[in-house]
Amino acid sequence: MDREKYQELVSTFFEWNQPAISQIFSELLSAVAAERDLSPSGLMSQNYETARANPEINVLPGNLKNARDAIFPYFWGTDSWNNPLHLENVKGPANHASLIGALACLLKNPNLCTDRYSQRSNELEVKAVTTLANLIFYHTDDPWGVFTIGGTISNLYGAKIGLERVVPGAMRTGLMGHRVVGICSQASHYSNQTVAGWLGIGTENLIHIPTDEKLAMRIDLLEAKLDELYRSNIKVAYVCATFGTTDAFGIDDIQAIRELLVAKSKAYSVPMPQLHADAAVGWAMVMLTDYDTAKNPLRMEEGLLEIVREVQVKNKGLRYADSVTIDFHKLGRGHYPSSAFIVNRREDLKYLARTVSDTPYFSEADASRDPALFTLECSRPGLGPYSVIASLNGIGLTGWQMLTARALELTQRLKDRLAKIEYCKVLNADTRGVSVNWWVLPKGRNAEDIYQRLIRNELTPEQLSRYLPEVKQLYDKRTKMMDPTLDARLGFTTSFGYCPHGIDIPAWKAVFFNPKTTEEIVDRIAYGIEEL
């Protein structure tokens, strides 16, 4: 082989040529900064046909600029969501402390499968998980956990522990004909279905308990369902409680669920199901747990303080969960993927160990730490721990309190504005979180009255099929008429989670993830609705 050419190749792609690399980084940075001048919808549309018709690989070795050019159009055509008009969904701009952490991680590229391939990056994962666990469970003794590639997979870990609790050895033997179910609420995230399907439980064996108006699982209906299941000798592997539903920020009463599970498993002499809390969105409320509302050092307004106090009460529920899902890439404004699966008691990970009957690996006090023995994934990115520790310490607890409280404040402002419009109805007025779900009906209708009649089941099928589609029609009308440089981009859900009498209720949706969103942007939403 031509040694000279080979050397050149190796030098271009494997030596650290700092000026060449920083030059390209700095060009990419300038390109992101230029997004400031674009409205969020002003980006290019995709061309999947061309993408399929033009698979691409250069023939000759190039340089770093070729690498840049190959991806640049797609990079440019991707919105970083830094624009404060983005309120559609649970996605925010990634914070720059996380950027530093994530870049550092990319430079070293650890594989968190075992100590050998990640050295101190594995230590960082332990530190990140323990820090998050202490925020969530509030100074717990022996937590543990791992970062996963998303909330779906973190929920899968919780469900899998439950499955092993009720069908010991299922990792080896499978379900062996046992009828096993999982339970979640009707407002829970669809990843619960993914999990039940992929675990072999089956989506049809995932039971959805209806919620009350605040999007919290109905405990009375859960109790009735548990009795019915246990009387038929059906195994309940897990209950996945939701701490912050994706659309409306409903929060299940985890303490009440735990008390019920303890009582029922005792009464029927069955193993306790895993009580997992899906806090993918809601976890960030724990940043406010220790905020001193009496001294109020951040000088929050009284209305906001009241919300913070309510949030503090809700946060206590998390302490009753066996395990929890945290998506740091959501309200942590971290880089994808930064999801963590955390158990309150480390010994529970024995259910995931490859040889459950052996002495659990994790009970050995100073055994080296090899997550690959219990993780679903083999190669695992280190982005999560780097993003989390850089973000938590760069921004600091007080910084996180400011970001979280500000999102709560803007949420409440929009709720208050909309409540004053009689043809609007805020559907999640009583949840404490960062999202608003609401109806807009044609002027002249009394939205509150229609809603009350809906939940009392007094609307005729004709009325339902007239009113409910109006919500979407007006949403589409706004989308057509809005000024993309001034009007916030909103989301729409076909069912916000509360389904009285089995009716799916559609809603407009705004989610406050962007720290740069202002009062003016919020007020313009209400103003725009009045102009429709």
Ligand X SMILES: *Cc1c(COP(=O)(O)O)cnc(C)c1O
**505: three-class secondary structure by DSSP:** coil
Tokens of 243: 């701490």
Between CA 291 and CA 297, with CA 293 as vertex, the angle to 5 degrees is 75
Structure-token pair, residue 5? 């050419």
| Contact (Cβ atoms closer than 8 angstroms) between residue 376 and residue 149 | no
Interacting residue with ligand X among 327, 348, 409, 487 (CB under 6 A):
327
Contact region for ligand X (CB under 6 A) — 146-154, 303-311, 507-515, 522-530?
Answer: 146-154
DSSP string, 91-103: --PPPHHHHHHHH
Q: Which of 89, 193, 246, 401 lies at the binding interface for ligand X (CB under 6 A)?
A: 246
Q: Which is nearer to ligand X, 188 or 517 (CB)?
A: 188
Q: What is the arrangement of strands in the sheet containing 435-440, beginning at the earlier edge strand?
A: 424-426, 435-440, 507-511, 491-493
Instruction: Kindly tell me which of 285 and 304 has the beta carbon lying closer to ligand X.
Output: 285
> Least distance (Å) from ligand X to the CB of residue 282?
7
Build a one-symbol-per-residue string for 48-87: x at contacts with ligand X by CB under 6 A, - elsewhere.
----------------------------------------
Of 171-190, binders to ligand X (CB under 6 A) are 189
Number of residues that bind ligand X (CB under 6 A): 13
Strand partners, 146: 341
The DSSP call for residue 269 is T
Candidates 147-155, 292-300, 428-436, 456-464 — which segment interacts with ligand X by CB under 6 A? 147-155
Stretch that binds ligand X, among 277-285, 300-308, 309-317, 437-445 (CB under 6 A): 277-285
Contact 251, 320 (CB under 8 A): no
Q: Which stretch binds ligand X (CB under 6 A): 150-158, 221-229, 267-275, 306-314?
A: 150-158
Residue position matching structure tokens 């930064």: 338
Give least dist CB 248 to ligand X, A.
Answer: 11
Nearer to ligand X, 98 or 242 (CB): 242
Query: Does residue 387 touch ligand X according to CB under 6 A?
Result: no
**Strand spans (E) along 279-398:** 323-327, 339-343
Which is nearer to ligand X, 326 or 521 (by Cβ)? 326
Note whether 242 binds ligand X by CB under 6 A: yes
Where are the strands (E) in 400-481, listed by range?
424-426, 435-440
Provide CB contacts within 8 A for 26, sequence distance 6+. none
Residue type, 231: R
Q: Give the number of other Cβ atoms within 10 Å of residue 165's Cβ.
A: 21
89 lies in the binding site for ligand X (CB under 6 A): no
Return the number of the residue (170 or 280) whose C-beta is nearest ligand X.
280
Query: Which one of residues 252, 278, 348, 487 is an interface residue with ligand X (CB under 6 A)?
Result: 278
Q: Is the Cβ of residue 315 or residue 339 nearer to ligand X in the bound state?
A: 339
The minimum distance between CB 364 and ligand X, in angstroms, equals 32
Q: How far is CA 470 from CA 247, 259, 419, 465, 477, in A?
A: 20, 42, 18, 9, 10
| Contact between 432 and ligand X per CB under 6 A | no
Among the residues of 39-174, which ranges form H helices?
Answer: 48-53, 64-76, 96-108, 120-133, 151-166, 170-173
First to last CA, the chain: 71
Is residue 428 a contact point for ligand X (CB under 6 A)? Answer: no
150: contact with ligand X by CB under 6 A: yes
- Under rule CB under 6 A, residue 380 binds ligand X: no
Q: Measured from the CB atom, is 332 or 360 closer to ligand X?
A: 332
Beta bridge partners of 145: 342
Span of 138-146, 278-286, 297-305, 471-479 interacting with ligand X by CB under 6 A: 278-286
Which long-range contacts (C-beta less than 8 Å, at least 24 apart) are formed by 126-130?
Answer: 126/369, 127/385, 127/389, 128/340, 128/384, 128/385, 128/388, 128/389, 128/392, 129/340, 129/342, 129/385
Q: How far is the CB of 320 from ligand X (least distance, A)?
A: 18
Member of 121, 122, 152, 274 binding ligand X (CB under 6 A): 152
339 interacts with ligand X by CB under 6 A: yes
Closest-by-Cβ residue to ligand X is 151
Q: Is 90 in the site for ligand X (CB under 6 A)?
A: yes
Among 191, 211, 344, 437, binds ligand X (CB under 6 A): 191
Name the residues that contact ligand X, by CB under 6 A.
90, 150-152, 189, 191, 242, 246, 278, 280-281, 327, 339
